[in-house]
């Protein structure tokens, strides 16, 4: 049996993992009962038993539709970001430890959270605070990591 480490000990050994646990969005608990399906299921009053495993054709169709809807939503929600602005934000993160990118209503706030033994986490939130992205970033950040931060910001903003 594996016993989880007490929070204080985890904070001493790996403070970044405690930060992730404290700031990650809470997910609902999975329902334990009922049938389980891989990738997709079909539900409805005309389905015997109320649900069934989706066929490979239905799964392929759902994937195509989801991919297109995701691309459409990203295009509508995310205005283009100037590569020079991404580079400036990465430099600000390196020098100041924080940066602001975009314009309202698509404003993002990024900050570097550093821990006592060198770990660092990049914490990016939108202006409402409802959307958050966390990533471990290299220890001892320096100018050589500007490209890493720029790539991460571009990925977070959906512009790769």
Query: Could you tell me the CATH number of the domain that includes residue 147?
Result: 3.30.160
Specify if 35 maps to a domain: no
* Domain count across the chain: 1
Per-residue tokens: 13: 């050994």
Per-residue tokens: 25: 């969005």
Specify if 126 maps to a domain: yes
pLDDT at site 33: 64
Rounded to 10 deg, the angle between the 83-95 and 146-156 helix axes is 120
Specify if 27 maps to a domain: no
- How many CA atoms within 13 Å lie on the side-chain side of 77? 11
| Residue 142: closest CA among 101, 99, 100, 91 | 91
Nearest-angstrom CA–CA distance, 43 and 35: 12
Specify if 107 maps to a domain: yes
DSSP state of 100: E
Specify if 145 maps to a domain: yes
**Residue 124 domain boundaries:** 83-156
Nearest-angstrom CA–CA distance, 99 and 97: 7
pLDDT at site 31: 53
- What is the pTM (predicted TM-score) of this model? 0.56
Handedness of CA 160, 72, 88, 85 (dihedral sign): positive
Specify if 141 maps to a domain: yes
Specify if 30 maps to a domain: no
pLDDT digits (tens, 9 = 90+) for 27-82: 554 555 677 788 788 888 888 888 889 899 999 999 999 888 887 776 666 666 77
Specify if 41 maps to a domain: no
**How far is CA 152 from each of CA 51, 109, 112, 135, 137, rounded to the nearest angstrom?**
40, 13, 13, 9, 9
DSSP state of 5: P
pLDDT digits (tens, 9 = 90+) for 110-144: 998 888 777 888 888 887 777 788 888 887 788 88
Q: Are 112 and 124 in contact (CB under 8 A)?
A: no
């Amino acid at each position: 049996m594996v016993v989880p480490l007490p929070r204080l000990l985890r904070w001493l050994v790996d403070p970044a993992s405690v930060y992730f646990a404290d700031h990650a969005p809470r997910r609902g608990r999975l329902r334990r009962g009922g049938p389980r399906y891989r990738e997709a299921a079909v539900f409805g009053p005309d389905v015997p038993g109320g649900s069934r495993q989706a066929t490979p054709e239905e799964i392929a169709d759902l994937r195509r539709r989801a991919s297109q809807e995701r691309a459409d939503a990203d295009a509508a929600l995310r205005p283009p970001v100037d590569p020079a602005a991404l580079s400036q934000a990465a430099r600000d993160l390196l020098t100041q430890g924080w940066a602001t990118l975009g314009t309202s209503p698509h404003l993002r706030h990024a900050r570097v959270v550093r821990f006592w033994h060198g770990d660092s986490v990049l914490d990016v939130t939108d202006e409402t605070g409802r959307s958050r992205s966390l990533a471990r970033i290299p220890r001892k950040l320096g100018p050589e990591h500007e490209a890493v931060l720029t790539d991460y910001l571009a990925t977070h903003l959906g512009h790769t």
